[in-house]
């Protein structure tokens, strides 16, 4: 990733902002109360996701794939939604959040994967690119770390992104629009602990 990256200090602030927004809601405050002071890059419109994990298992993941809101607003909204509105989980409680780590993934602008579908796999670098698939009203996205975590190759990644979008796996061959993007990850090494860049 060559542009619009977060420096380490900014990545740390991104994670701290996400955690503080959730803590505020748990304490009965507004999510935006007493957030860290943020540099100007957080006013730029950026896509981002907030992922919560407890004991190594997913506890919530919500985000904005497109740069439609300032990064600060995306972090707050995504963090609150991941904690309290992810339909796969019950809203988080304070005792659980004390055991939960926060991870932030900021995204580059999605760019279309173009040319013949037979060339798509060569345009996708596992561990670097995330994918988005669109067809009609169907849209789905998988972050870069998903393919790495699952051990998928580029073809499987394409198929699983289509499945995420509610399509048949091979729709990337039959008219679905495929986009790639890059993600920059900052995460806590333990609940409310140190913050590092990248995956484990």
The domain spans of the chain are 8-108+183-197, 111-181
Q: Exposure string (b/e) for 148-168, b if CB count within 10 Å is 16 or more?
A: eeeebebeebbbbbbebbebe
Confidence of residue 145 (pLDDT cuts 50, 70, 90): confident
Architecture of domain 111-181: 2-Layer Sandwich (3.30)
In sequence order, what are the beta bridge partners of 112? 179
Q: Which of 61, 13, 6 is nearest to 195 (CA)?
A: 13
Question: Would the CATH topology of 8-108+183-197 be identical to that of 111-181?
Answer: no
3-state helix, strand, coil in the chain (%, to 5): 35, 30, 35
pLDDT at 2: 40
Task: CATH number for 8-108+183-197: choose from 3.20.20.140, 3.40.50.300, 3.30.700.20, 3.40.605.10.
Answer: 3.30.700.20
Confidence of residue 143 (pLDDT cuts 50, 70, 90): confident
Long-range contacts of 73-78 (CB under 8 A, 24+ apart): 74/46, 74/47, 74/48, 75/14, 75/17, 75/18, 75/21, 75/42, 75/48, 75/50, 75/104, 76/17, 76/18, 76/21, 76/31, 76/32, 76/35, 77/31, 78/18, 78/48, 78/49, 78/50
User: What average pLDDT does the chain have?
Assistant: 94
DSSP 3: S
**pLDDT higher than threshold 70 for residue 119:** yes
H or E element that contains 139? strand 138-142
The average pLDDT across 14-38 equals 97
**pLDDT higher than threshold 90 for residue 6:** no
| Its pTM surpasses 0.75 | yes
**pLDDT higher than threshold 60 for residue 3:** no
Kindly tell me the burial class for residue 101, based on how many C-beta atoms sit within 10 Å of its own C-beta (0-12, 13-18, 19 or more).
Answer: buried
DSSP 45: B
């Amino acid at each position: 990733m060559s542009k619009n990256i977060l420096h380490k200090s900014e990545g740390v602030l991104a994670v701290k902002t996400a955690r503080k927004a959730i803590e505020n809601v748990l304490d009965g405050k507004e999510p935006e109360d007493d957030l860290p002071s943020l540099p100007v890059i957080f006013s730029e419109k950026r896509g981002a996701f907030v992922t919560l994990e407890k004991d190594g298992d997913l506890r919530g993941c919500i985000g904005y794939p497109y740069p439609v809101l300032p990064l600060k607003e995306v972090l707050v909204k995504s963090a609150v939604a991941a904690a309290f509105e992810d339909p796969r989980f019950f809203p988080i409680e304070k005792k659980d959040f004390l055991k939960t780590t926060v991870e932030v993934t900021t995204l580059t602008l999605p760019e279309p994967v173009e040319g013949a579908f037979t060339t798509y796999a060569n345009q996708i670098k596992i561990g670097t690119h995330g994918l988005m698939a669109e067809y009609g009203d169907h849209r789905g996205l998988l972050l870069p770390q998903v393919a790495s975590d699952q051990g998928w190759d580029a073809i499987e990644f394409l198929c699983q992104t289509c499945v995420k979008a509610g399509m048949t796996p091979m729709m990337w061959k039959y008219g679905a629009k495929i986009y790639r993007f890059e993600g920059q990850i900052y995460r806590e090494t333990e609940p409310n602990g140190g913050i590092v860049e990248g995956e484990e």
